[in-house]
Chains A and B, each alone.
Chain A
Amino acid sequence: MDTVSLPNDPHPIGCQCFIIPADVLERFAGDRKLTAEQRKGFADAARFEKEWRKQRIAQIKHIHEAQSILPTNLTAAGPAAAPPAILVDDCGHGNTLPGTPVSHPEKSSDATAKRAFDETTAVARFYRTVFGRNSVNNAGMTLLSSIHYSVKYNNAFWNGSQMTYGDGDGNILIDFTKGNDVIGHELTHGVTQYTARLAYANQAGGLNESISDVFGSMFRQWQADQDVTQADWLIGKDIMGPGAIARGFTCLRDMANPAAKHCMAPQPTMFSQYHDGMDPHYSSGIPNSAFYKAAMAVGGKCWMKLGKIWYQALTGFAPRPNMKMSVFANRTRSLAASMFPAEPSVKTAIDHAWTAVGL
């Protein structure tokens, strides 16, 4: 099993062996082909795996507690610290996370592994370059992606500590790592988790999803160096399967026209259509539409002004898990005035955009 061969293993025996499943650790602990020292290392790792998992949960809780005390954006390490480590694990079509570590994913012959590594690295660079943020927690947190999750799995998700990507069923959707906006979307859930801590239901849930779409699309535009008129504003364009394309679906969602027929899941565009209990992927159409309208009015590259305002509205305040959409809208209005005092047209554009969607 190459992925656990000791000399080249990027996650050697020690504190990181936890990412090898316990049964594999136990098997290697009894493998006579390994040296006694290596076997002992695997045995120790297997023994401490459960304990380590408990510690990781406690560590995440500790970070949350620390961030509830510190002002937002202030962490022990901050952006000056080293960039985050990027790891890729392979689930091998199983349902157990995180899977088996991929050695040197940046050079992997598995295109999915290489893409997960390259695009996650690029998203980390995007956040660092544009917003001065060091990883999702602004403290250099390791970014772990699990690929080839389950069988024909039509989804990608952020589970609170890592990203997970399915290969798609090959008809409706394809390999989720093919969407750079998808990878940006999932990592942004991590940023939201460590900043505004938006809930995942009702208005906060819609905002949470919208922020992931906004920064996912923004990352896609930044990577292609596109201005707002060149951008496609589509979410999931690159993961549409042949069956979906044949039926005229070009995306999951369209920020420029959330209700369009070419969306696999058309969304509401007006706050008057909102009611509690909506799926966040549905209600996110309202703030998505506002961002698009404001971006088109401001013009240029959306991460230069609007992105900075949205980022500050997300990260520059104390956590507010049950935030209403109107609160976020008003934050962006105020921030536009304070961050771009010499350009009142920015505030006007944002104000008109939110008003146009009923907020």
Chain B
Amino acid sequence: MHGPQWVYRNVTMALLQIERIGGLAGFGGANAHVRSLGQLETDTLSPEHQRAVEDLFKPTGKSKDARICDGFRYRISRTRSGKTETIEAPEERVPVALTQCVKDEFV
């Protein structure tokens, strides 16, 4: 597992750790037997997806996301320059490159 000790070539590059939660099957819940995790570096993303990630981490005050019933949510941690921030977002706001790097596995 890579950590915040990484030295990046560019301060805007970051490591994203992504967890898929919820859905009809309640993935990632307290006692759930399926965990869905993935990670990637932002410099592997297209410029469009990099911008979408930046938007996800912009402070927006109280979330106005409408909850889709049984929709997945994503808990995304971004580690950049030794600092980690974590947000949660509904699937429809998360770039496909992030959702597709997550793998469902039994725990």
Contacts and interface: CB of A to CB of B under 8 A. Distances in A.
Closest 9 A/B residue pairs (Cβ): A281-B26, A200-B67, A265-B26, A189-B69, A157-B70, A155-B23, A265-B32, A158-B69, A266-B31
A176 interface: yes
A159 B71 contact: yes
B11 interface: no
A248 to B, nearest CB: 10
Interface string A171-198: 0110010000010011001000100000
Given A155-B72, A156-B70, A236 B26 contact: no
Contacts of B106: 172, 243-244, 247
A200 B32 CA distance: 19
A252 B29 contact: no
A326 interface: no
A281 B24 contact: yes
Q: Give the one of B69, B96, B100 with max A CB within 10 A.
A: B69
Main secondary structure of the interface of A (DSSP, over half): loop
Interface in B82-107: 96, 100, 104, 106
Main secondary structure of the interface of B (DSSP, over half): loop
Interface string B26-70: 111111111000000000000000000000000000000011111
Please classify how large the interface on chain A is, using the bins under 10, 10 to 19, 20 to 34, 35 or more. Answer: 35 or more
Please classify how large the interface on chain B is, using the bins under 10, 10 to 19, 20 to 34, 35 or more. Answer: 20 to 34
A159 B28 CA distance: 21
A253 B70 CA distance: 14
Interface string B1-37: 0000000000000000000011111111111111000
Contact of B33 (A158, A160, A189, A265): A265
Interface of A: 95, 151, 154-160, 169, 172-173, 176, 182, 185-186, 189, 193, 199-201, 205, 208, 212, 236, 243-244, 247, 249, 252-253, 259, 264-267, 278-279, 281-282
Contacts of A151: 100
Contacts of A169: 104
18 contacts: A154-B23, A154-B104, A155-B25, A155-B72, A157-B71, A158-B68, A159-B71, A172-B104, A172-B106, A182-B24, A189-B69, A264-B25, A264-B32, A265-B29, A265-B31, A266-B32, A279-B26, A282-B29
Given A253-B26, A266-B32, A279-B22, 17 more contacts: A154-B27, A155-B70, A156-B24, A157-B72, A158-B70, A173-B25, A182-B24, A186-B69, A189-B70, A208-B69, A212-B69, A265-B34, A266-B31, A279-B26, A279-B28, A281-B24, A282-B26
B29 A281 contact: yes
Contacts of A253: 26
Contacts of A201: 67
A190 B27 CA distance: 22
A120 to B, nearest CB: 16
Contacts of B30: 278-279, 282
Contacts of A199: 67
A116 B46 CA distance: 36
